[in-house]
Amino acid sequence: MPKRLKIDFGAITDNNVEMLRKVNAACFPISYNDNFYKDVVARKNEGLNKFAYFGGFVIGAVCTRLEPLPGDESRKRLYIMTLGVLAAYRGREVGTQLIESVLKYYEENKNDRFEEVDEIALHVQISNDDAIKFYTERFDFVRGDMVENYYRRIDPPHCYLLYKTLQ
């Protein structure tokens, strides 16, 4: 089994956001619009949005946002918009370390900044067995309901909501 890579984390900024665009293009079957990248930079939150570096090169990234919890607007959830690792570095726990770092940031701030946060969640295409297994087996996420026609330009268009209760 390949060894866990020792990675460094770094902020996503105006100066390097094009690297995020390249990582996403290499990792995902959909393209994200300019507003996605502008919003990530505008958040200025390295705890929730960051690059993974190995040997000085970007090899992955995670982008997360805080949003209202559906069904209870007084509560919030962390929503993982993207988690991508370049193919050559998969299986070396880069994605694991990125998610661990987001969860650690939550734990460090759960009594103040994230006091209203109840869960962490994401949508995963129903055919993406590797991602479903990654989140459910490694991080104890629950596979929730299938959302039909969530994606417009990829097949299959359906996804599952994966979530994990945090408090």
Return the active site residues.
79, 123
Tokens of 105: 């940031």
Q: How far apart are CA 102 and CA 64, in angstroms?
A: 8
DSSP states of 51-72? EEEETTEEEEEEEEEEEEETTE
> Which helix H or strand E contains 98, and what residues bound it?
helix 94-109
Residue type present at position 116: E
Among the listed residues 105, 145, 104, the one whose alpha carbon sits nearest the alpha carbon of residue 121 = 145
Beta bridge partners of 61: 51, 84
The single residue listed with the structure tokens 């650690």 is 104
Copy the structure tokens of residue 86: 């370049």
